[in-house]
A and B are shown apart, each in its own frame.
Chain A
């Protein structure tokens, strides 16, 4: 357990006034829907009519609270993300209940891209944690592939806090030993993959142990004396904006004044959300792709004219001169970025049609669409060994590195530094499907 990072006091003191968006993920049948049902029931969010809807033969099936599609109820699986809302006296929560099946990884990635935190469920009953030595050979305790995949994806997408919840320990005779060994396996995996872990909590979603209340049977059940999962969630920080990065602003919508009575005739307001840094009057900017420069004359927000607007917030920018700026352009701090036509990126491939080197896709960054060609597939991550291996194509749900060449230059930064400048999606030009999440590593 020594490799598990404790929550720092600073993280705990961070803004909890905003709702925490978290996802539950992990392998299929690890108990995600039951856990959410438990959180909803224990926080008294479930209303009488909804609870009545999930009674089956006198028993309450907590999982039915979240599986809302008829196909899901037919098959007993989660296909797409269900969003749920609940609150405690301390905080409000938005949960994305992500599907566990590999074929629905794209829906899990959808949920993770908006999450401040992830609870990765691990089913203790599915792991061969007891096998220490077999036929004279030490058996490595393997985590399930989807546990690894989901943890890697959450980490790639910079989900701020990753919590492992080891579930169904109530069904194991020697729960203490099971938790100890599974924790060791999780810690070892996280360390090898470079994943920071906020906590590992033993739970029983079915019985409600360590979910909203401590284990009813035993105070140090599984040798664990830390906070319950809900206590943890109440203390986790929301996503920190990339404010240390120079100013970057994707133009979302251009407001024109056409009325001749308007004294600001000919002027325009460029609306958008500040991607990084901040903006205030007097600041110099460069427009991408035209490379024109100007000075910010006025900054607006929808409620008032503030002194400055910071990353993550919407702003209206009025420039000191008339420039040709359209939706999709970027306003950037001068000389801070080097637009590039080639980038190396890690991608999560989400389309059923495999990614093929040489093919052209649409790429979207901010509000700008450009054509992108897959110049080269560098490698693919082996989910089990974490090693990179050569590959000719990336199939659905694969994670790998590629080199993209762009039809027009874009200002990019590594995703590790800037979510907005380092993230793109690829869209299939024929089917219009969203095919990949692209996380920039560097301009190639």
Chain B
């Protein structure tokens, strides 16, 4: 099971590990800023994928530093599944407004109305279907670069991806035929209809992200910190009880102290048990966890070894 916050753990560790040093966070920030500026310089119609989740908020913080507040030279794009945690949607809108950034929202429900997304059954997760809506948005706005907050430590297929990841005109990733990426000489040449996905925080780990959030006082949606929530235990996960995810027959609803390690579609995202009330607490918990971010929280990734790779080949970000 996931780490819990024991009072003992909240004391500073005896031997402060090297990764707590600021040098490393500075180096990661520097790399992210360099990439964010490269996108601004090299592409005509870039956009930054912004969900209101912690990784995209860290990206936004780096973008603020790269360009100064209110001058981020590309719009923010959100692909809305319609299955969002309200705290996150509200926070997303608040943050975009605060920055004076243009926020484009395109929704899976509109794709369903157009008939380009067909669900197998009404309760199906819309997470994978985001790819369709995303590709529609790319076509609509003719985006040539989409900046995302994905990290290589999240998942095995992600660990293989370039920082500037070339996509063909169907939005497909070709994992066996990626362009060499030498030094920081990024080959950004495109044929018509193609685009790039760009990952400035590729080399950050979950721990780096939390240490950066702590250091820079990055504000997050409240559900990233401890709160009481009704959940059921299912296959080792804590499934939140919501209108979309009601308890199944025989399951007992319990109220637990939980927080989210990752935030996505309600139907696929689970919280972990935790008393961590701020970023400092989360850093300490992250140092002691024994289950990965996805293993602890994502129902959709458990279905197959290669489910992320498959989705990415279909245009998922």
Q: Which residues of A contact B (CB under 8 A)?
A: 15-19, 47-50, 53, 66-71, 73, 79-85, 87-92, 94, 106-107, 109-110, 113-114, 252-255, 271-273, 302-303, 313-314, 327, 350, 362, 364-367, 419-420, 423-425, 427, 432-434, 437
Contacts and interface: CB of A to CB of B under 8 A. Distances in A.
Interface of B: 15, 17-19, 21, 23-24, 27, 30, 33-34, 37-38, 40-42, 65-67, 71, 152-153, 155-160, 162, 175-176, 178-185, 187, 189-191, 202-203, 205, 289-292, 295-296, 305-306, 309-310
A425 B191 CA distance: 19
A427 B180 contact: no
Given A18-B24, A69-B309, A50 B295 contact: yes
Contact of B159 (A84, A107, A302, A313): A84
A302 B66 contact: yes
A420 B17 CA distance: 33
A405 B17 CA distance: 51
B178 A80 contact: yes
Contacts of A114: 183
A327 B182 CA distance: 20
Contacts of A252: 34, 37-38, 41
B205 to A, nearest CB: 5
Contact of A432 (B27, B180, B191, B305): B191
A33 B130 CA distance: 33
A253 B309 contact: no
Contact of A253 (B37, B162, B182): B37
A106 B295 CA distance: 32
Contact of A17 (B21, B67, B183, B185): B21
Given A423-B183, A425-B185, 14 more contacts: A19-B24, A70-B306, A84-B153, A252-B34, A253-B41, A271-B37, A273-B34, A302-B65, A313-B30, A314-B37, A367-B42, A425-B182, A432-B190, A434-B179
A366 B38 CA distance: 11
Contact of A68 (B42, B67, B157): B157
Contact of B65 (A47, A254, A303, A366): A303
B48 to A, nearest CB: 15
Contact of B180 (A49, A70, A350, A362): A350
A80 B202 CA distance: 16
A377 B24 CA distance: 42
Nearest to A97: B159
A437 B292 contact: no
A88 B20 CA distance: 11
Contacts of B152: 83, 85
B52 to A, nearest CB: 23
Contacts of B38: 252-253, 367
Contacts of B184: 273
Contacts of B67: 255
Contacts of A91: 18
A106 B179 CA distance: 8
Contacts of A70: 305-306, 309-310
B154 to A, nearest CB: 11
Nearest to B203: A94
A18 B23 contact: yes
B296 A90 contact: no
13 contacts: A18-B24, A19-B19, A19-B24, A50-B292, A69-B175, A85-B152, A89-B15, A92-B19, A107-B180, A113-B183, A423-B182, A432-B190, A437-B182
Contacts, number: 158
B34 A314 contact: yes
B187 A432 contact: yes
B18 A423 contact: no
Point out which of B23, B38, B159, B191 has the most chain A C-beta atoms below 10 A from its C-beta: B159
A19 B27 contact: yes
A427 B187 contact: yes
Given A47-B291, A80-B160, A88-B18, A53 B305 contact: yes
A362 B202 CA distance: 27
A67 B175 CA distance: 12
A73 B71 CA distance: 45
A367 B19 CA distance: 32
Q: Select the residue from B27, B38, B156, B309 with max chain A CB neighbours within 10 A.
A: B156
Nearest to A369: B189
Q: Which of B24, B187, B205 has its CB near the most chain A CB atoms (within 10 A)?
A: B187
Contact of B156 (A68, A79, A90): A68
Contacts of B65: 302-303
B180 A71 contact: no
A66, A83, A84, A109 pick with most chain B CB within 10 angstroms: A83
B182 A83 contact: no
A68 B203 contact: no
Contact of A49 (B30, B191, B292): B292
A69 B189 CA distance: 25
A48 B291 CA distance: 5
Contacts of B19: 19, 87, 92
B125 to A, nearest CB: 20
Contacts of A314: 30, 33-34, 37
B193 to A, nearest CB: 13
Contacts of B157: 68-69
Contacts of B153: 84-85
B61 to A, nearest CB: 11
Contacts of B18: 16-17, 87-92
A94 to B, nearest CB: 6
B103 to A, nearest CB: 22
Q: Specify which of B41, B67, B155, B310 lies most central, judged by the most chain A CB atoms within 10 Å of its CB.
A: B41
A110 B182 contact: yes
B180 A110 contact: yes
A303 to B, nearest CB: 7
A388 B50 CA distance: 53
Contact of B160 (A69, A90, A419): A69
Contacts of B24: 17-19, 92
